[in-house]
Structure 1
Amino acid sequence: MIDNRKYVIQGIFLIIGVVFLIQLFAIQVIDKSYRQAAEQNIVQEVIQYPYRGLLLDRNGEIMVYNEPLFDLMITPKQVVNLDTLGFCNLLNITKSEFNEKIAAAKAYSYVKPSIFYKQISNTEFARIEGTLDQYKGFAIQPRIVRAYSYPAMANALGYISEISKNELKQDTINYYHQGDYIGKSGLESYYESELRGKRGKKFKIRNVRGIDQGRFNDGKSDTLAIPGQTLTSTIDLELQLYGEKLMAGKAGSVIAIEPSTGEILAIVSAPSYDPGALSGRNFGENFEVISQDTLKPLFNRPLMASYRPGSIFKIVQALVALQEGVIVANTKLKCNTALIGCHNAASHPFGTSEDLVGAITNSCNPYFYQVMRKMVMQGEVEDPYQDSHIGLDKWRSYIDNFGFGGTLGIDLPGENGGMIPNSAYYDRAYRGRAWKFSNIYSLAIGEGENLVVPLQMANFAATVANRGHYYTPHLIKKASEDGEPLPQFLVKHETEINSEYFEIAVEAMAEVVRSGTGQYRAKLPGIEVCGKTGTVQNDPNPDHSVFIAFAPRINPKIAISVYVEGAGQGARAGAGIAGLMIEKYLKRDSAVLRMEPYILKGDFLY
């Protein structure tokens, strides 16, 4: 009996031993999770952030590049026996700042790394690198920030900054992590997926004291970071810088387009800011200062500001009326100021009968009042109120085809579409009360409820230059490896106006500069400029100065719109700046730039 018990006890111990052996075999050989957990204690994953793509001008000159910086990462669980005072002295931070950063890191994760101290410069890094190994739980993460060759074009280039919590939630592909940088505005935002590249990973072995022991698994688990695409823009940097020089101290915009492609040669928003101010550790402080500036330097006027178009809209009215057959080129109408005032009485006395070219040359308001009335009230029905509804909507459909009343689709975020009214708009405005042409006649001269964006007016100038078509304005010339822009920028947009009518508009615009309101500051020796002045009402403040143009008349190379807020007549600031930009682009070093001192001085109201 006793012997049997002995065997039973031995058997039990044997079984227990076998179970333990099997379990140990499973832990060490079959189940890799324990091995992986052990390795996690000594293997550190280091994200390799890719270099963000460069931005070049159309001639290959670098506009935006990268500058290396370093983030100090923290994994709270690994921080032990920290000499807090010595650590604060090393980073030149206070104890309260340290406590605040530690609390933020622990709130994010106790075991995952997060940024403790961001954007350490190369100089700072060299100072602290040799000492950091003494502080367990901290590691350096290389990063990049944007740097700029010139303090220009800030609104169009945009900026990058740390991704927000809302943006992280909206990241459906789970590409981004907390602390990553993302394009927030401008080209940086629109082309984020092309510019950001693809991150890589590197695995390092560290001992329990946090000292780097080399690469894990001989680097076989590492993945290389793939740099972002270098994007070639449509911008002519020399012209861009000149435009910013001319607009210094002013408010408004300048947009120049190559008519044959829709490529934007220059896009100036004034006032603006130095793009370098929104790059680096002082981003937050600088952004607050810039965003609170009452002159609104963050407001991208070329595509966000909306203005009444003023007299430059008379070219649009002429083309629509010609297409509808309510006038012909030699239709003569009297300058009847009993209908509406005419501001060009000196060269265009009351009662003068002008044909279409003469009316555009002299910017005759009564002529276009009568043209618009013919357009809106065509006698489709006997009721003048209903007839006005039908005529206005027909007019609006033509206007839409020029790209007004909606966004054009430029490769920048935040584009404003302006506003062109239709009958439904006035039905709402008049709250069911009857209305007709006599209530809306100010549309005839580009005033009233008409609102356009400077980008749209530059695009319209390009449309006239092309005699009836345009390509969507865009800023990136090469957005892919095959050297092409995005497909939508290769589409040709046609208007519903016959090309023969555009020739009449071209002749009228040439006459404006040859002998009309644009002759004093937009006329250039050896270049036939076609343009139109506009003086946009801005009561009770001074009017806005507006000018659109293209040149040369045959085979145009540049189309432009200029808006200078509060600068008075379009024949002054607007025409002067447009003329200088055209001359600079077409003549380069041989340009005389006669009007430059006048524009730089900026005294336009007299």
Structure 2
Amino acid sequence: MLDNRRFVISAFFGIIGFAYLFRLFYLQVLDDSYSIESSSNSIKRVMEVPFRGQIYDRNGKLMVFNTPVYDLLVTPYKAKVQDTLTFCNLLGIQRTTFDSLMKAAASYSRMKPSMFLRQLSREDFARIQDIMVDYPGFEFSKSSMRTYLAPTMANSLGYVSEITKGQLEKQEGFYYQQGDYVGQSGLEIFYEEQLRGQRGVKFVMQNVNGVAKGSWKDGALDTMAVAGQNLYTGIDFDLQQYADSLMVNKVGSVVAIEPSTGQILAIVSAPSYDPRKLASRHFSDNYRELAKNPYKPLFNRPVMASYRPGSTFKVIQALTGLQTGAISPSTAFSHAGVPMKCHGGGHGNSVPQAVQHSCNPYFYRVFQSILYHNDLSNTYEASRAGLKVWHDQVEKFGIGTRLGVDLPSEYKGSLPDVEYYDKVYGEKRWKFSNVYSLSIGEGELLITPLKMANVAAIVANRGYYYTPHIVSGIGKKDNPLPEYTVRHETGVDRRHFDTVIPGMIGAVEAGTVMRLAKIADIQIAGKTGTSQNKKGRDHSIFIAFAPADNPKIAIAVFVENGKWGGTAAAPVANLVIERYLKGKTENKALENYVLHENYLPYTVFPAPKKPVIVDTVKKKEILNPLAEKKPTSAPKEKAPATSSGK
């Protein structure tokens, strides 16, 4: 028994001894990380930041790419600067800047390297790299700077900037570190995970002065950084720039969509800014300047601005009336007893004619018929039941919901329902006479330019749509996110679109659109709208698609303070359509008219005595009109838009 105990005890201690010996062997021979840590004075771990993915247009043009630059890092406890003035002159900075940068670095960590100066060009790096050996504690790190083919589409492309303390604390996992760049808006933030790539690491031998002496173990433990995935978009870059030029001296939006795919062809937010302003080391100053601009160039109007749709909503109203059986294609209505005026009278004889001439009394009666199903008792019960039917059908057009575009901060909009009016007026205390303004796109309706471009695409497709999206491929062409390949049905029969579309064609050819805006050899189906603006000139809206029988492009244009849809927004839309379908502009008279028009609020910019002539020599001014003039006073806040019905 005693011998057995001795054997067990000996075996126990033998096993423990063997475990210790194996662990020592592993740490000293097999585990390189232990060797690296013990050699921290001579071996340095260098993180390799990957290049962000690049962004292309639909024709393979490189819109956003990376330019190699160098960042200067500082480790405060190692830093020694004998002559601060000479050092500042070398880097081209002020003494106060030097002091603030050193203070910020020390507050982050005295032992760890942190950012001192960003985005030194290759020329700057070559000029000072040898001299920096005389300044211990400072080191260079390779980086890149976002570079843009042209000053366009800034709001949708977005920008990158240094990650904030709050973002670091909230991140899932531990990918980002202090000083990293991260997408902050637009496509840059929406596709951040795809664009950022994967980090690499390499181990470098250095002497006591911190001078690199080559790779450790010939790079056996190094891992390569993997560049981010490229984004391929549906944007037509030439069309985008042309649409930009048409919106100079205007506030508003242009959104053009390929109906068959939902790909966005052009997306303009005007006024915008040069994206290069937020891609330089002067980011903070430039951002502050843009944020103070009274026209809010950082505000992405196509997906964030809200308007009442005005008479453009009559297209949805007509389709809803036809689908619910409230009206037929030949339904006629009298104007008698309607608290709205028509734009000429005699346009209540059929759906196509009412759409063509944008007849307010007709659509008052259409909405009344939808709610009451021809029961004109004007009761709460009838209104409640009818409004629910109306709401559910209109919602299928994407109104009152987020479409899901691949851009952040998409505004939901407003589509009032029964619960809304019960809350506002009280249950059983409202009826049709309280909500009839919805009939012509007024009341509590709020939409974005993107939504109305999507409505144009729905009508072009005769009843369905794909979620509008900018990126058509991730990593390779024709590889969008799965949700952008799903077909959404509105539930409206195709035959009803064949009733409404002739009225839209008539609106362009002999209706509410100015004659000059007609495009030769292209049949355009469109609808104008005018949203009232209580604190300025009314806003101009136009939606359209073309060719009417085989649509290739659907579009919505919003021009704030442009007044009539047919004279401000429609000409812009039709020129964009012509350029896309023909590849050139033939209607030079219309182009000259649009380029001469200035709809900037006169409270900020005085009305020019003569139109500003735009030519190719002044291309810089065309793309950045705000660079030449500064407002003398801020504009008044814009009230929610309402529609006059035209």
Q: Structure 2 length normalisation: TM-score?
A: 0.85
1:390 equivalent among 385, 389, 396: 385
By how many angstroms is 1:420 displaced?
0.7
Which residue in the other structure is 1:488 paired with? 483
**Aligned-partner Cα distance in 2 for 1:463–1:95:** 60
In the other structure, the counterpart of 2:341 is 342
- CA offset at residue 27 of structure 1? 12
Report Cα offsets for 1:324-371 as digits up to 9, x if no partner: 1111000111233x41332512xx35xx64211111111110011011
Provide the secondary structure at the position in 2 that maps to 1:354.
coil
Name 2:622's counterpart in structure 1.
none
**Percent identity at matched positions?**
46
Instruction: Tell me which of 467, 470, 474 is aligned to 2:469.
Output: 474
Question: Per the alignment, do residues 35 and 500 of structure 1 end up closer, same or farther by CA in structure 2, a change over 3 Å counting?
Answer: closer
> After the TM superposition, which segments of 4 or more aligned residues of structure 1 sit over 4 Å from their partners?
25-35, 80-86, 379-383, 603-606
Question: Any conservation in 2 of the 1:568–1:604 contact (CA below 8 Å)?
Answer: no
Mapped partners of 1:28, 1:160: distance in 2: 42
Shift in CA distance, 197/32, structure 1 to aligned 2, threshold 3 Å:
closer
Match of 1:579 among 568, 574, 581: 574
Q: Note closer, same or farther for the CA distance 1:560–1:29 as it changes in structure 2 (3 Å cut).
A: closer
| Cα distance change of structure 1 residues 382 and 284 upon mapping to structure 2, 3 Å threshold | same
Task: Indicate the SS of the match to 1:541.
Answer: coil
Kept in 1: contact 2:369–2:375 (CA 8 A): no
Aligned match for 2:542, one of 543, 547, 562: 547
Question: For 2:441 and 2:584, how far apart are their aligned partners in 1?
Answer: 37
**Residue 222 of structure 1, CA deviation:** 1.4
Equivalent AA in structure 2 for residue 295 of structure 1:
Y
**Equivalent residue, structure 1, for 2:232:** 232
Question: Is 1:511 aligned to 2:510, yes or no?
Answer: no
The answer for the alignment partner of 2:182 in structure 1 is 182
Please name the residue that 1:598 is paired with: 593
The equivalent of 1:209 in structure 2 is 209
The residue correspondences of 1:127-276 to structure 2 (distance < 5 A) are 127-276=127-276
Which secondary structure state, in structure 2, belongs to the residue aligned with residue 567 of structure 1? coil
Helix, strand or coil: the match of 1:533? Answer: strand
Alignment partners' CA distance in 2, 1:195 and 1:33:
30
Q: Is the 8 A contact 1:521 1:575 kept in 2?
A: no
Q: Which residue matches 1:501?
A: 496
Deviations 1:394-419 (A, max 9, x none): 10000110111011000000101110
How many residues align? The count is: 578
Give the aligned partner of residue 12 of structure 1: none
Which ranges of structure 1 fall in alignment gaps of 5 or more residues? 1-21
Partner Cα separation in structure 2 for residue 28 and residue 177 of structure 1:
28
Alignment of 1:293-312 (within 5 A): 293-312=293-312
Distance 1:38 1:77, change over 3 A: farther
Instruction: Say if 2:373 is the partner of 1:378.
Output: yes
Q: Secondary structure at the match of 1:595?
A: helix
Contact 1:251 1:564 in 2 (8 A): yes
- CA deviation profile, 1:433-465 (whole Å, cap 9, x unmatched): 701000111100001111111100000000000
Instruction: Call closer, same or farther: CA 1:243–1:149 in 2, change over 3 Å.
Output: same
Q: Which has the larger radius of gyration?
A: 1
| Structure 1 match to 2:280 | 280
Going from structure 1 to structure 2, the CA distance change for 1:157 and 1:32 (only over 3 Å counts) comes to: closer
| 1:52 paired residue number | 52
User: Do residues 121 (structure 1) and 121 (structure 2) align?
Assistant: yes
Once structures 1 and 2 are overlaid, which stretch shifts more, 236-245 or 115-124? 115-124
CA drift of 1:164 comes to: 0.6
User: Counterparts of 1:80 and 1:253 in 2: how far apart (Å)?
Assistant: 53
Distance in 1 (alpha carbons) for counterparts of 2:527 and 2:81? 75
Superposed displacement of residue 597, structure 1: 0.9
Q: Which residue of 1 aligns with 2:6?
A: none
CA-CA distance at 1:38 after TM superposition: 3.6
Residue aligned with 2:213, SS: strand
Aligned partners of 1:530, 1:81: CA distance in 2, in Å? Answer: 70
Quick one: distance in 2 between partners of 1:505 and 1:26?
Answer: 83
SS at 1:500 equivalent? helix
Q: Contact 1:532 / 1:549 at 8 angstroms: preserved in 2?
A: yes
CA distance in 2 between partners of 1:205 and 1:421 (Å): 67
TM-score scaled by structure 1? 0.91
- Structure 2 segments unaligned to the other structure (5+ residues): 1-20, 601-606, 608-646
Report the Cα distance in structure 1 between the residues aligned to 2:235 and 2:280, rounded to whole angstroms: 25
How far has the Cα of 1:92 moved from its partner?
A: 3.5
CA RMSD of aligned residues (A): 2.3
**1:29–1:480 distance in 2 versus 1, CA, 3 Å:** closer
Deviation per residue, 1:473-518 (Å, 9 max, x gap): 0001111447411110000000111111111111111121122112
Tell me, yes or no, if the aligned pair for 1:518 and 1:533 is still in contact at 8 Å: yes
Q: Given that residues 521 and 572 in structure 1 are in contact (C-alpha distance below 8 angstroms), is that contact kept between their aligned partners in structure 2?
A: no
